[in-house]
Structure 1
Amino acid sequence: MNPRIEVVAVDSLMVRLFDLIDETNMPWILAASQRLRAAFGARLVELVPSYTTLMVQFDLAPGAARALIDQALEGLRPDTGNAGRRHELPVWYDASVGPELPLLAARSGLGEAGVIRLHSEREYPVFALGFAPGFAFMGLVDERLATPRLATPRKRVAAGSVGIAERQTAAYPAVSPGGWNLIGRTPVRLFDRGREGYSLLQPGDRVRFVAVDRAEFVRLGGDDSPLEAQA
């Protein structure tokens, strides 16, 4: 691996570790994050890990920042001792809250039960946070579930909605517009200003979706209102 440093702004540099998105990237990204935080210390303004890169914002001269990055990443090895936290998110998979579930079932030829099984049997690493506070991009879903974003995004997607876009999956932390293919809903609160770090999920965490029925979903505090009724 040969990290590349790219200019983002006068006080920000992008460290590119990989060119392709892959689940095996995350141990390297986490290891680089730890080294960069230690190297910059109080001079680090912000560090944003993503699928293949880390964005470093700093409070020192750009040349000095480059030197720190080079020094910090020398001999980098994947971090096998820090795999992030593991989360289980209950999901009620149903067409009333996940209107693309029947579409994916027909397109894949798996039926709804097959889609639910494939989506919930994997453990997904969190690649990055973005789009909205607490929105965690995860992957990679089974290739049979891969499907493009909606041609016309919805104006309103319910909080907790679980969706798929290409080979990524995510759950909407709050009501917002969105173009992902919805297949269910989780009752878990993904973003909370009273929580340390705000977002339940962080890059490097691993997530398993667990299928529950409607009664359990409601018992856990989920809103079972059909998506159309919330539009």
Structure 2
Amino acid sequence: MSADNVYRHFYRTRRLGAAELSDGGGPFGFDITTALEFDFLIERYQCDAIIETGSNAGDTTEYLARAYPNLTIVTCDVVDRYVDLVKRRVGFMPHTHVEKIDSPELIAKFRDRFRCPLYYLDAHWYEAWPLERELSLIENGVVCVDDFNIGNPRFGFDKYKEVECGPDMLGRFIDKIPHYYTNNPDAEYELPCLQNGRRGGKAYFTIGQKHDHMQHHRYFRRHETPRPTAA
């Protein structure tokens, strides 16, 4: 998909999550640079599905469903009102699946159905943080971890009970994630980002893929995964 098509679908998506989300809602928190990064990964890795954990009001889900009608779009939430809302937004599209289910269960259910899914890990389950369980289940595909500490003050990240969503978390999986990429704050993008509030950092990596298409692209910065420290 061209940058023009990313632009057209991105800015036509309603921001229904604005009332509850710190970034004001919109696809990818209204950060179009993430949409361009996803588009690059989908095209280069020929992804056949997108599996999103944590749909909230469905702003990102609707964007992905409209932008990629030839891919299976799978999403979930544990809150009834969000599940009902997202079903109303995208449920009529035959390539979408919206489920009320815990995100690790969603991954376990769908992970073997696709050749190369793109996982968008963005689940925030109140007191429970499912990221470690999600990563333990993924054996093949392209992965984006949202709200990741990229070491830049312009980009926010999550922290749960003193555990940071950052490099040390990935270190627990160093055997299958020996290196990772982050979004590059200094990159030149085809489209300007209009999000003037909170932007979330992103970590990207592949599991079970032969080629590394991110290593020479300006959107991404490579990092070696830190080895876990001894207890």
Give me the TM-score of the superposition, normalised by structure 1. 0.24
Q: Which has the higher helix share?
A: 2
Give me the TM-score of the superposition, normalised by structure 2. 0.24
Q: Which has the higher strand share?
A: 1
